[in-house]
Amino acid sequence: MILTLTPNPCVDKTVWIERLEPGRPVRGERCDCVAGGKGCNVSKAVRQLGGATMCALVVGGHTGRYVAELLEERHKVSVAPLWVEASTRTITTVLECEKHRQTAIFEPGSAVTDEEAECIHDQFLGILDALRENEPHAPLTVTLNGTVPDAKLRNLYARLIPELKRRKVFVLLDSHGPEFAEGLKAAPDAIKPNRQEVEELLGMPLDSEETLKNALTQLHEMGVELAVITDGVNGAAVSRREGGRFQQLRAIPPQVEEINSIGSGDCFVGGLVHALQIGQSLEDAVRLASACGASNASHWDIGALNREEILRLVPQIRIEPL
Ligand SMILES: Nc1ncnc2c1ncn2[C@@H]1O[C@H](COP(=O)(O)OP(=O)(O)OP(=O)(O)O)[C@@H](O)[C@H]1O
Ligand SMILES: [Mg+2]
């Protein structure tokens, strides 16, 4: 079972238009809404790969109910809602057909009260404990995904990680900014930031093999056992420490026509944790993860992966020593 947590989901709305002219009304040709949020994408990917997953979401209002409904009905993903008073945000992307240009408008994340922040923490652990109780011997992985909607939740990951580790749950953190830095202090088992996120975290450019290896070493020193740094079309650098030994590799994806690479990191995470949970080797897990990322990049819809396409891409991933 892979339980994902998305503290800051959204209704992800796309409006297709001919051309954007600021200050003028524009008529849309087509409009579509999907459930947005990083953990949602991880769960969608795991589901497509045939794994069991549950998606815990901080949601509120009718937009919150809509996100949950979209996930359950379109993607057949089980949802565990963590209700708050404020409505879940909508992100509207305007897609100009002529120029193939996209402009996204982000509403602010929902504010939470102190009491709600406490409830989110406790309820999430309650969901986890119920899953454990149902299937005491099944392996359990938790992924903590993305940003938090309110500064009151800034230490959510940092508080959850020790609880998860105490329960012997494998935990992967994929976030950025203060909540990522805070969460890292609690030493999650695994992390999957992208290159830019690590550059911000460590305050240094990753522009050579040497700086990349140095960054991976620093991440291990923070207590992380499996560190993955992805870099879009350039692939991923992976480093696992087991006891005192290191396994390091680089995965290079095949060329695909990139349509929309947003969410490729999340699909990578979905592929990675699914493969590791079913006992695949690190190398095979990274192959599957990279194929999921590449497949996502070659479609407009985020996280709507196709299993056959992924299986076709897997043998095309090149693995090299780092
Ligand atoms: N254009 C592409 N072609 C092939 N593979 C890609 C492409 N873009 C991404 N990938 C694959 O997906 C992985 C993750 O992509 P990326 O580094 O862009 O993630 P990210 O920035 O964390 O994305 P997000 O946070 O939006 O999910 C890459 O390491 C690569 O394997
Ligand atoms: Mg990412």
Q: Is the CB of 198 under 6 A from ligand 1?
A: no
Residue with tokens 């937009």: 63
Mean pLDDT of the chain, nearest integer: 96
Question: What pLDDT band is residue 72 in, cutting at 50, 70 and 90?
Answer: very high
The Cα–Cα gap between 173 and 157 comes to 8
The Cα–Cα gap between 118 and 141 comes to 22
Mean pLDDT across the stretch 262-291? 98
Please give the distance of CA 215 from its chain centroid, rounded to a whole number. Answer: 21
Q: What are phi and psi of 125, to 5 degrees?
A: -65, -35
Looking at residue 206, its pLDDT comes to 96
How close are the terminal C-alpha atoms of the chain, in Å? 31
Residue in 173, 175, 261, 273 to alter for ligand 1 test, most ligand atoms within 8 A of Cβ: 261
**Rounded (5°) CA angle 284-75-138:** 50
* Long-range CB pairs of 101-109, under 8 A, 24+ apart, other chains included: 101/20, 103/20, 107/10, 108/149, 109/8, 109/147, 109/148, 109/149, 109/150
Q: Whose CA is nearest to atom 20 of ligand 1?
A: 265
Does position 109 have pLDDT exceeding 90, yes or no?
A: no
The Cα–Cα gap between 117 and 276 comes to 31
Q: In the chain, what are the domain boundaries?
A: 2-20+28-321
Q: Is the CB of 231 under 6 A from ligand 1?
A: yes
Does position 244 have pLDDT exceeding 90, yes or no?
A: no
**Rounded (5°) CA angle 78-168-161:** 75
**Rounded (5°) CA angle 168-170-173:** 130
Atom of ligand 1 nearest to the CA of 289: 31
The identity of residue 172, as a single letter, is L
Question: What pLDDT band is residue 97 in, cutting at 50, 70 and 90?
Answer: confident
CATH topology of domain 2-20+28-321: UDP-N-acetylmuramoyl-L-alanine:D-glutamate ligase (3.40.1190)
Does position 289 have pLDDT exceeding 90, yes or no?
A: yes
The Cα–Cα gap between 22 and 43 comes to 37
Looking at residue 158, its pLDDT comes to 98
Q: The whole model's pTM is what?
A: 0.96
Rounding to the nearest 10 degrees, give the CA dihedral for residues 36, 41, 43, 46. Answer: 160
The Cα–Cα gap between 6 and 82 comes to 10
